[in-house]
């Protein structure tokens, strides 16, 4: 089994309604987002997949999340755009778009020292 990871980042604002602390106020992050795919078969060149193909798939999901207020997006209408919910949203948005590879997980870093991993 081979695993390939690519990453990108977005800068967005959010606030966490119902949170008892400073994150209840509007604030921003530069989130680092990593996606990890896995598979068994290499192509004729010896690659599981081309990094640039995976980067394009991730970029397509991230672009609508960049430089926006996440709370204003329909995806977060009924839930806080926490890092956990953001990771789940990105994972599900990537979905089966990685076939024939399997999307193993998405990891979202809120800061250099704090991240969330989501998988199904």
Distance CA 43, CA 50 (A): 10
Distance CA 70, CA 67 (A): 9
Is residue 83's pLDDT more than 90?
yes
67 included as an active-site residue: yes
Distance CA 36, CA 25 (A): 32
> Each residue of 85-119: pLDDT tens digit?
999 999 999 988 898 999 999 999 999 999 999 99
Within 10 A of 119 (CB to CB), how many other CB atoms are there?
A: 12
Single out the catalytic residue among 3, 23, 29, 120. Answer: 23
Single out the catalytic residue among 3, 17, 27, 67. Answer: 67
Averaged pLDDT, 29-37: 98
Distance CA 49, CA 33 (A): 19
CATH architecture of 2-118: 2-Layer Sandwich (3.30)
């Amino acid at each position: 089994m081979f695993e390939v990871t690519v990453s990108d980042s977005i800068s967005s604002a959010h606030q966490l309604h119902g949170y008892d602390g400073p994150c209840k106020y509007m604030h921003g992050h530069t989130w680092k987002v990593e996606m990890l795919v896995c598979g068994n078969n290499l192509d004729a060149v010896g690659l599981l997949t081309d990094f640039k193909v995976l980067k394009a798939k991730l970029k397509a999901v991230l672009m609508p999340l960049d430089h926006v207020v996440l709370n204003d997006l329909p995806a977060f209408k009924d839930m806080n755009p926490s890092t956990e919910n953001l990771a789940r949203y990105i994972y599900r948005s990537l979905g089966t778009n990685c076939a024939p590879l399997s999307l193993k997980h998405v990891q979202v870093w809120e800061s250099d020292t704090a991240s969330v991993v989501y998988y199904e």
